[in-house]
Amino acid sequence: MKLLITGGAGFIGSNFILHWLKNHPGDSIVNLDKLTYCGNLENLKTINNDSKYEFVKGDICDTKLVAKVMKDIDTVVHFAAESHVDRSILEPDAFIKTNIVGTHVLLEAAVKNKVRRFHHISTDEVFGALPLDDPGKFSESTKYDPRSPYSASKAASDHLVNAYHTTYDLPVTITNTSNNYGPYQYPEKLLPLAITNLLEDKKVPIYGDGKYVRDWLYVEDHCRAIELVLEKAEVGETYLIGGLTEDVNNLELIKRVLAIMGKSEDMLEYVKDRPGHDRRYAVDWSKAKKKLGYKPLYGLDTYLEKTINWYKDNESWWKRIKSGDYLKYYKEQYEKR
């Protein structure tokens, strides 16, 4: 099988490519990535000379390029997206272009080339937010209610994918996933930011009161879930993929990190909240468990320790990132609050 992976130099995409080639050595992969600020080919340096792997630098909005790379592709796994909520508030235009227009370009090419499967990676944020005192969780039947430019653009892309299935009979599947974490995550997200700051003896910024709840999904579990979808899922189906069964708020999460790293809670620094900050996301991933046999391999604390150890062992990777343009963004987002 020949796969086209969009956004394969990013955090989740690069983890997926490594996972797939390790477990499916007979398959080949084309990685199409624009290499924006969060794309990093260093993530994939171990397969640079693999004859089954090809990298193409380019934009998913480039119709001619997408048509070219789509030829002879059996399966598309579409990761490429602008994904950071804070950035979508500052610069929404890029999110509209990449997440909506880019997805449309890919869908058109997939229809023309009659791909066997178009799998779209989405987010639980398309469903809006839940109150802290609400025991309910998002499910595949939850009504869409996006609340940021990022989540609105992803909701639109989900609708496009489903529309191409209904209108053009394109064989599609969708996964809406919760907050991913693990190796190779760009250090603007909460966990890698916290871990790398603590490794540098810097404080960890906490938005508002810190009592924001997310479902935390270790990236390797996410990769396994996508693998199960491609191998077992029915065409046209959507699956929610999560990593937890009980709520853990951001403050508690970072306190667990502090405990594992042997750091004091004095390293917490509360900062001004961001606009429209959703209070709670919770994911019911029972459909994926029942239909596909999906479940996380380990618990949260084990995965937090694995993640911390990866950043400890790969200091040169994240220090190169944090010494560049990231510092300007970091100062704009946190130090001026």
**Is residue 332 over pLDDT 70?**
no
The whole-number pLDDT of residue 266 equals 97
If you average pLDDT over residues 243-263, what whole number do you get? 97
- DSSP structure string for 37-73: TT--GGGGGGGTT-TTEEEEE--TT-HHHHHHHTTT-
**Residue 318 is encoded by which pair of tokens?**
């994240």
Q: Say how far apart CA 15 and CA 222 lie, in whole Å.
A: 9
Given this model, what pLDDT does residue 151 score? Answer: 93
Q: What is the pLDDT of residues 292-323, one digit of tens each?
A: 999 999 999 999 999 999 999 999 999 988 87
pLDDT computed for residue 7 by the predictor: 97
Q: What is the pLDDT of residues 91-133, one digit of tens each?
A: 788 899 999 999 999 999 999 999 999 999 999 999 999 999 8
Q: Is the pLDDT of residue 80 over 80?
A: yes
Average pLDDT on 280-289 reads 97
Mean pLDDT of the chain: 93
Q: What is the predicted pLDDT for the residue at 267? A: 98
Supply the residues annotated as catalytic.
124-125, 150
- For domain 182-213+245-279+299-324, the question of CATH label 3.30.1780.10 is answered with no
Stretch 51-76: mean pLDDT, rounded?
Answer: 97
Confidence (pLDDT) at 249: 96
pLDDT at 335 > cutoff 70: no
Domain spans of the chain?
2-180+215-241, 182-213+245-279+299-324
Q: Provide the pLDDT for residue 323.
A: 79
Pick the CATH number of 2-180+215-241 from 1.10.10.60, 3.40.50.1370, 3.10.180.10, 3.40.50.720: 3.40.50.720
Phi, psi (deg, nearest 5) at residue 171: -75, 105
